[in-house]
């Protein structure tokens, strides 16, 4: 694929053939070498061919091949002439990350670390086929779909303040539970309040290094050794089913002929089906917010029980990294509403945006980038330039470079556990094979991903976090 170097870490796929706009890749030479191994660039080019796409089809530094859209893809569409595509959001709608801070230092918890992790493992259901603690009625489920984390807080899971520190304040107002199929609801009933499996995890972390004192202080991150908790999960089977249902419905209604990949299927944003998907997707987003809200509550409970208090365990923020949203952006010199798709990409708004809670409006939005299991994670802050560069978006994690199959062939879960233990990191999982599949060597170097984000200006470094206890689904 022909790539033109624009400047350091920025590469363009020039507009050609059916492309309506160019594609722009944010990657160092090293990350680009990985990206070239799979279909990421072809997929970014395919996205650039969709009707109503604005400015560019963007590729984030952690990008890898998806289906239809690349993972790490950002694309914004005109509301009148553009489309909405379930494949541009991904199957795990509102897969995202929540970060809690605390007043504890690593040395305060060292002796109780094993116990903390074991208790969290007991309280937070995880793994494939593992149901939640409560059997919901359909009526309650629909309430959760309409109200997201608000429902959870009203029902005793966490604090009102958590909502302010959640993207969309924990609830997308456009959600319509009646836009979901019975199958989606049926999958949602047993799984609320569960972590799931695959790359989803819960980590007790400590701050290794603060890289931007001012922003860190605004986010309640004070210095090295401070204990944090990171929760990475999504909307579970309910969200997967919403994506599956609407891919089918849109294919049947608008056809798939002429699409280079059937997963690029889409509907005009203003069409009945396009709007219905947006309302269903929003409901799945709310389910995921409620899910992370409940898990965060249980984590605080465990800290309180094991350590005597959940000292200062405030929420830093909660971000979505698989979502489509209507947002205002400047294109061609004027401010317009666009439907921004972020698939494996995190919103990264700079200071002043109305979407950011007041407490953070002067600093910018916290951006949470989870690393792979047992490696570093990062806290970043959104920038004003990112709006120009990527519709206010940056990376979402490390991004895989090795297949699960290959990882299983090369690694043993028990071996990984022992290696982590030697580095002072506890690990709990429902499956050793699952641990092997998620070996950190199967992922890109997250340090390199965030370095590019920082240098290009997509999101700036605030703190480097390292795990002390890992729970994998």
Partner 1 sequence: MERYRILPHTADGKFRAYGRTLEEAFANAALAMASLMWDWRKIEPKIARSVRVTGTDREQLLVKFLGEVVFLLDTQRFLLAAVKDLMIREGPDGWALEAELRGDALSGRYEVYGGVKAVTYHEMRIEASDRVVVQVVVDM
Active site residues: 396
- Cβ 43 to partner 1, closest distance in Å? 9
155-194 footprint of partner 1 as x/- string (CB under 8 A): ----------------------------x--xx-xxx---
55-74 footprint of partner 1 as x/- string (CB under 8 A): ---------xxxxx--x---
- Cβ 64 to partner 1, closest distance in Å? 5
Contact status: 262 vs partner 1 (CB under 8 A): yes
| 211/209 Cα distance (integer angstroms) | 6
Contact status: 459 vs partner 1 (CB under 8 A): no
User: Which residue in 96, 237, 364, 370 binds partner 1 (CB under 8 A)?
Assistant: 237
Q: Which residues of 76-87 are buried (b: 16+ CB within 10 A; e: fewer)?
A: bbbbeebbbbbb
Nearest Cα residue to 369 out of 451, 287, 433, 286: 451
Contact status: 280 vs partner 1 (CB under 8 A): no
Residues 93-132 binding partner 1 (CB under 8 A) are 127-129, 131
- Specify whether the CB–CB gap between 247 and 86 falls below 8 A: yes
- Cβ 77 to partner 1, closest distance in Å? 21
Contact window for partner 1 (CB under 8 A) among 6-14, 85-93, 221-229, 322-330? 85-93
Contact status: 254 vs partner 1 (CB under 8 A): no
- Cβ 240 to partner 1, closest distance in Å? 4
Contact window for partner 1 (CB under 8 A) among 6-14, 74-82, 245-253, 274-282? 245-253
Q: Would you say 405 or 422 has its CB closer to partner 1? A: 405
Contact status: 208 vs partner 1 (CB under 8 A): no
- Specify whether the CB–CB gap between 31 and 448 falls below 8 A: yes
| 76/369 Cα distance (integer angstroms) | 22
Local structure of 379: helix, strand or coil: strand
Q: CA of 134: how far to CAs of 293, 351, 388, in Å? A: 15, 40, 45
| 361/282 Cα distance (integer angstroms) | 24
| 379/315 Cα distance (integer angstroms) | 13
Q: Would you say 419 or 432 has its CB closer to partner 1? A: 432
Q: How many residues does the chain have?
A: 473
| 391/203 Cα distance (integer angstroms) | 30
- To which H or E segment does residue 460 belong? strand 459-472
Phi, psi of 107 (to 5 degrees): -65, -25
Q: Would you say 379 or 407 has its CB closer to partner 1? A: 407
Q: DSSP string covering 78-101, please? A: ETTT-EE-GGGT-SSTT-EEEEEE
Residues 28-47 binding partner 1 (CB under 8 A) are 37-38
Q: CA of 261: how far to CAs of 44, 280, 286, 318, in Å? A: 12, 23, 29, 32
Q: Would you say 52 or 90 has its CB closer to partner 1? A: 90
Contact window for partner 1 (CB under 8 A) among 97-105, 161-169, 232-240, 272-280? 232-240
Contact status: 197 vs partner 1 (CB under 8 A): yes
Contact status: 252 vs partner 1 (CB under 8 A): yes
Give the interface with partner 1 as residue ranges (CB under 8 A): 37-38, 64-68, 71, 90-92, 127-129, 131, 183, 186-187, 189-191, 196-198, 236-237, 240-241, 243-244, 247-248, 251-252, 256, 261-263, 400-406, 430-434, 437, 473
């Amino acid at each position: 694929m022909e790539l033109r170097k624009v400047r350091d870490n920025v590469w363009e796929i020039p507009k050609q053939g059916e492309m309506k706009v160019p594609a722009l890749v944010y990657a160092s030479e090293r990350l680009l070498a990985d990206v070239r191994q799979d279909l990421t660039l072809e997929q970014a080019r395919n996205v650039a061919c969709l009707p109503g796409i604005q400015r560019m089809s963007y590729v984030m530094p952690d990008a890898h091949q998806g289906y239809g859209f690349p993972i790490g893809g950002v694309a914004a569409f005109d509301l009148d002439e553009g489309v909405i595509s379930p494949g541009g959001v991904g199957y795990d709608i509102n897969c995202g990350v929540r970060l809690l801070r605390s007043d504890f230092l690593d040395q305060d918890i060292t002796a109780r670390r094993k116990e903390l992790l074991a208790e969290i493992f007991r309280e937070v259901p995880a793994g494939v086929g593992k149901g939640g603690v409560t059997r919901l009625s359909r009526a309650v489920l629909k309430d959760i779909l309409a109200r997201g984390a608000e429902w959870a807080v009203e029902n005793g899971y966490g604090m009102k303040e958590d909502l302010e520190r959640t993207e969309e304040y924990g609830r997308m107002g456009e959600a319509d539970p009646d836009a979901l199929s019975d199958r989606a609801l049926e999958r949602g009933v047993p799984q609320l309040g569960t972590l799931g499996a695959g790359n989803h995890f819960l980590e007790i972390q400590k701050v290794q290094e603060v890289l931007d004192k001012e922003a860190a202080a605004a986010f309640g991150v004070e210095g090295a050794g401070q204990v944090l908790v990171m929760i990475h999960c999504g909307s579970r089977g309910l969200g997967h089913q919403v994506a599956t249902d609407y891919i089918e419905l849109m294919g049947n209604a608008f056809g798939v002929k002429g699409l280079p990949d059937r997963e690029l299927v889409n509907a005009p944003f203003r069409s009945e089906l396009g709007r219905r998907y947006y309302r269903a997707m929003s409901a799945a987003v709310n389910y995921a917010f409620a899910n992370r809200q409940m898990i965060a509550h249980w984590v605080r409970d465990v800290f309180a029980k094991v350590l005597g208090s959940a000292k200062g365990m405030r929420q830093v923020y909660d971000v979505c990294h698989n979502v489509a949203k209507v947002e205002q952006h400047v294109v061609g010199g004027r401010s317009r509403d666009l439907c921004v798709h972020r698939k494996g990409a995190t919103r990264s708004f700079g200071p002043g945006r109305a979407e950011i809670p007041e407490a953070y409006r002067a600093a910018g939005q916290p951006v949470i980038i989870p690393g792979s299991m047992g490696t570093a994670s990062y806290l970043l802050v959104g920038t004003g330039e990112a709006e120009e560069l990527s519709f206010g978006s940056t990376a979402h994690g490390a991004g895989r470079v090795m297949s699960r199959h290959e990882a299983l062939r090369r690694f043993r879960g028990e071996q990984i556990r022992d290696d982590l233990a030697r580095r002072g990191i506890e690990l709990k999982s429902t499956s050793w094979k699952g641990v092997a599949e998620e070996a950190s060597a199967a992922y890109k170097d997250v340090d390199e991903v965030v370095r590019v984000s920082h240098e290009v200006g997509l999101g700036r470094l605030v703190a480097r976090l390292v795990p002390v206890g890992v729970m994998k689904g």
